[in-house]
Amino acid sequence: MTTDPPRPPPYLRIAAEIRDRVESGALRPGDRVPSTRAITQEWGVAMATATKALATLRQEGLVRAVPGVGTVVVERERVRSPRAPGDPMRGEPALSRRRIIGTAIELADSEGLGALSMRRVATALSTSTMALYRHVPGKAELVRLMSDAVSGEEPMGAVPADWRAGLEHAARWMWRANGRHPWLATAMASFTRPAPAPDAMAYTEWVLHALRRTGLSPFAMMHCHLTLFAYVQGLAVAADLESQARQDTGLSDEEWLARNEPQFGAIVAGGAYPLLNTLFTQDEFDLDLDTLFEFGLRLTLDGIAAMIDETSA
C-alpha cells in the first residue's frame, strides 16, 4: 500500500508558483510580484501565509522590496544567497534586534506601515511572535527603532556657514530619507510627543546649529526647524499615500487620471470652475511632487529669511 507524499505548506506552494512565473518569463526583472494583499485574494490564504511566501522568495534572493513600489523581481546579477559575502547581516545571529529592525524596515518599505505587525515580522523571520518580544517590547518601540535606524543611514555632513544653505541641505536630506522609506513621515508624525531617538535628535541638533548665527532666539530657531520639518513631512505623507494607492489599485497616476477623466469632464462641463478648468487643460502643467517640494521649500526659506531680516534690523 502506497501513500501520497505530504503536500508542502501553502506558503511554499505559493512561493513555487510565483517562482515559476519568474522562470517562465511571465514576471521579468523589475516587475512587481503579487503583494501580500494580492496573494490573499488570489490564493485565498491568510495575510501571515502571504507574508511568509514573499519572505521565502526574498531569502532565495529572487525578489527584493523597493520603497514606494512593492516587491519586485531582482536583476539576475543581483541574485545571491541570503548570507553571501557583503551581506550587511552576514554573521548576524538568527534572531537579533538588528535583524528584527531590518526585516521590519523591509516590510514597511514594501507594504506600508499599516501592514506592519509583530506577527508579520515574526512570520518573515520564520520564528514565533513571542520570540520577538525578547528583543523588542512591542510594535511602538519597533517603529521607534526603525525610524531611528533609517535616520542614521546618510551622514548629514558638516554644517554650512550660511544658514539658508544649511536648511536647504537638511530639507533635501529629509526628503530623500522619506523617498527611501515612505512610511517614515507617518512614523515621526508626533510633534508634542517626540520619541527619544538619538539619530533623529541629531538631525534637529544639526538644523539648530545651522541657525545659530542668525540672531534668532532659541525659541524662534526651534519653530523654524519644526515649520520646515512639518512642510517636508506633510508632502512626504502625501507621497506615501499616492504610492499606497498605486499599490492598492495597480494603476499608475496616468492610468488613474485616464479612468477618471470622464467624471472630471462632467463636473467642469457646467462651467462652474473656469479657472481650474483652464489650468488643467494646459499641456505644460504637470503636478510633480519633487517640483512642488522645491517650490514650497523656496517659499518657506524666504519666510524665514524675512524673519531673520526683521530680527537684525
Does 115 lie in the same domain as 195?
A: no
pLDDT for 195: 64
Residue range 192-204: mean pLDDT, rounded: 75
pLDDT for 76: 63
Q: How far apart are CA 103 and CA 98, in angstroms?
A: 9
The crossing angle, in degrees rounded to 10, of helices 97-111 and 47-59 is: 110
Residue range 168-193: mean pLDDT, rounded: 86
CATH code assigned at 54:
1.10.10.10
Task: Give percent of the chain with pLDDT exceeding 90.
Answer: 31
Among the residue ranges 22-31, 85-94, 217-226, 253-262, the one predicted with the least confidence is 85-94
**Domain assignment present for 141:** no
DSSP-assigned letter for residue 5: P
pLDDT for 297: 96
pLDDT for 304: 96
- Which range of 9-18, 19-28, 97-106, 234-243 scores highest in mean pLDDT? It is 97-106
Query: Domain total for the chain?
Result: 2
**Domain assignment present for 218:** yes
Task: Give percent of the chain with pLDDT exceeding 70.
Answer: 83
Does position 176 have pLDDT exceeding 90, yes or no? Answer: yes
**Domain assignment present for 220:** yes
Of 35 and 159, more confident: 159
**Domain assignment present for 129:** yes
**Is the Cβ–Cβ distance between 103 and 142 less than 8 Å?**
no
Lookup: cell for 131: 520570540
Does 221 lie in the same domain as 95?
A: no
**Is the Cβ–Cβ distance between 244 and 112 less than 8 Å?**
yes
Q: Which domain holds residue 175?
A: 163-250+283-312
The pLDDT tens digits for 85-119 are 444 454 445 688 999 999 999 888 887 888 889 98
CATH code assigned at 188:
1.10.357.10
Of 98 and 199, more confident: 98
Does 106 lie in the same domain as 54?
A: yes
DSSP-assigned letter for residue 134: T
Does 45 lie in the same domain as 168?
A: no
pLDDT for 215: 92
Does 296 lie in the same domain as 236?
A: yes
Tell me the CA distances in angstroms from 79 to 28, 35, 58, 87, one per residue in order. Answer: 13, 20, 10, 12
Alpha helices in the chain (DSSP H): 10-24, 36-43, 47-59, 97-111, 118-124, 129-133, 139-151, 163-180, 184-187, 198-211, 218-249, 253-268, 274-280, 289-312
pLDDT for 84: 41
**Domain assignment present for 214:** yes
Model-level pTM?
0.69
pLDDT for 68: 60
**Domain assignment present for 151:** no
Of the pLDDT bands very low, low, confident and very high (cuts 50, 70, 90), residue 191 is: low
pLDDT for 32: 86
The pLDDT tens digits for 269-280 are 777 888 777 766
Does 208 lie in the same domain as 79?
A: no
Among the residue ranges 103-117, 146-160, 181-195, 196-210, the one predicted with the least confidence is 181-195
Q: What are phi and psi of 28, to 5 degrees?
A: -105, 165
Lookup: cell for 77: 546579477
Does 120 lie in the same domain as 28?
A: yes
